[in-house]
Structure 1
Amino acid sequence: MAGVFRRLYDWLLRTFWATEMDVTMVGLQNAGKTSLLRVLSGAEFEIDTIPTVGFNMKKVQKGHVTLKCWDLGGQPRFRQMWERYCRGVNAIVFIVDIADMALLPMAKEELHILMDNQTLSGIPLLVLGNKSDLPDKLTVDELIDVMDLKSISGREVSCYGISAREETNLDAVLHWLVKYANR
């Protein structure tokens, strides 16, 4: 009987108190943005994900919150549009491949260029170190240092290690995002 009440309660929340939030996911190519969004939306992880050309949008339901997630291409030609898609969102998610040491300096540079935009002032930032299931990867503390996250001010900044493939830490990511649904 408790299951019936829980479903009714969830339906009432979605129907009368539903909240929709906009989230933009950015990061360099092959960081795992599309794979993460695919897994968050309930689909299976695919090893051979095709790189995003331009952008994708998916909705992810978490309780009474619907996350409208924009997944932007990470190739150099798409990076100039990141700022436009980050304006006015509830949260920005920057995804980093923590096993690709060669691309970390570029990821840091692109993150700081994006965060320096006055139009994005105050928007919470979640940095995700993806591919934590691989060997020879950074820890979260190392990622915070390498990306110089402590120098980013004027907004909430958080950092988690995740694995889209293994679905590691995805509940923490969703809880963090839902926290900013009503900002």
Structure 2
Amino acid sequence: MLGLQNAGKTCLLNVLSGGDFTYDTISTIGFNMKKVQKNNVSIKCWDIGGQPRFRPMWERYCRGASAILFVVDMTDIEKLHAAREELHDIMGQESVEGIPLLVLGNKSDMQAKVSVDELIDALDLKSIEHREVSCYGISAKEETNLEAVLSWLVKRANEPPKPGASRR
């Protein structure tokens, strides 16, 4: 799980793993790992810090992953360009080629936000090749679309790894 700082990655992971949403979540320093259970599937989710000093480490955590989740704050329009740059940088890494990408526009419960279509355009998702790319608007706070996210993850966790790739 990647994204710029304050996108809501840690809150989302807390909610997905069965915890409660909290407003006063402290930004992840380094990384955080939790297991998410859905039916009989257990998924190990890594929440990687989004501050600039941690972004060079993103690629190492993504190698061999079943999926990459990129979380974006739909209300922080000023950071969309930086989010696009970071997303395209990681997607351009040969070591993550072919790994499915799920972009999550978080904070969809807020009034002042971009739409999912605007997010797709702002992040230039249609230009990302060599992998499946999906995008959902979610709200970790209201738990909007989180069942769809879990279903998406479970489907990818059950798929066999690509030849030559090891899975975490």
Same fold judged by TM-score > 0.5?
Answer: yes
The CA distance in 2 between the partners of 1:176 and 1:33, in whole Å, is 17
In the alignment of these two chains, the number of paired residues is 159
Q: Pick the structure with more helix per residue.
A: 1
Q: Extract unaligned runs of 5+ from structure 1.
A: 1-24
Query: Is 1:182 equivalent to 2:158 in the alignment?
Result: yes
TM-score, normalised to structure 2's length? 0.94
Distance across 2 between alignment mates of 1:99 and 1:67: 28
> Where do 1:85-104 residues align within 5 Å?
85-104=61-80
CA displacement, residues 1-27 of structure 1 (integer Å, 9 cap, x when unaligned)? xxxxxxxxxxxxxxxxxxxxxxxx000
Q: Give 4+ residue runs of structure 1 displaced > 4 Å after superposition.
A: none
Once the two structures are TM-superposed, the CA of residue 64 in structure 1 deviates from its matched residue by 1.3
Cα distance between partner residues in 2 of 1:174 and 1:130: 15
Aligned equivalents of 1:137, 1:98: Cα separation in 2:
5
Percent identity over paired residues: 69
Query: Take 2:142 and 2:3, find their aligned partners in 1: how far apart are those partners?
Result: 20
Counterparts of residues 141-160 of structure 1 (less than 5 Å): 141-160=117-136
Q: Which of 72, 96, 120 lines up with 2:96 in the alignment? A: 120
What code does the residue aligned with 2:110 have? L
Q: What is the CA-CA distance between 1:92 and the residue it aligns to?
A: 0.2
Measure, in 2, the Cα distance between the counterparts of 1:175 and 1:112. 25
Determine the structure 2 residue equivalent to 1:3.
Answer: none
Aligned pair partner of 1:169 in 125, 145, 150: 145
The match for 2:49 among 45, 70, 73 is: 73
**In structure 2, what residue type is equivalent to 1:84?**
R
3-state secondary structure, aligned to 2:54: helix
How far apart are residue 182 of structure 1 and its match? 2.4
Q: Residue in 2 aligned with 1:138?
A: 114
The answer to whether 1:84 aligns with 2:60 is yes
Work out the CA distance in 2 between the residues paired with 1:48 and 1:133. Answer: 18
Which residue is 2:162 aligned to? Answer: none
- CA-atom RMSD in angstroms: 0.5
Matched letter for residue 14 of structure 2: R
Gaps of 5+ in 2: 160-168
- The alignment's TM-score, normalised by the length of structure 1, stands at 0.86
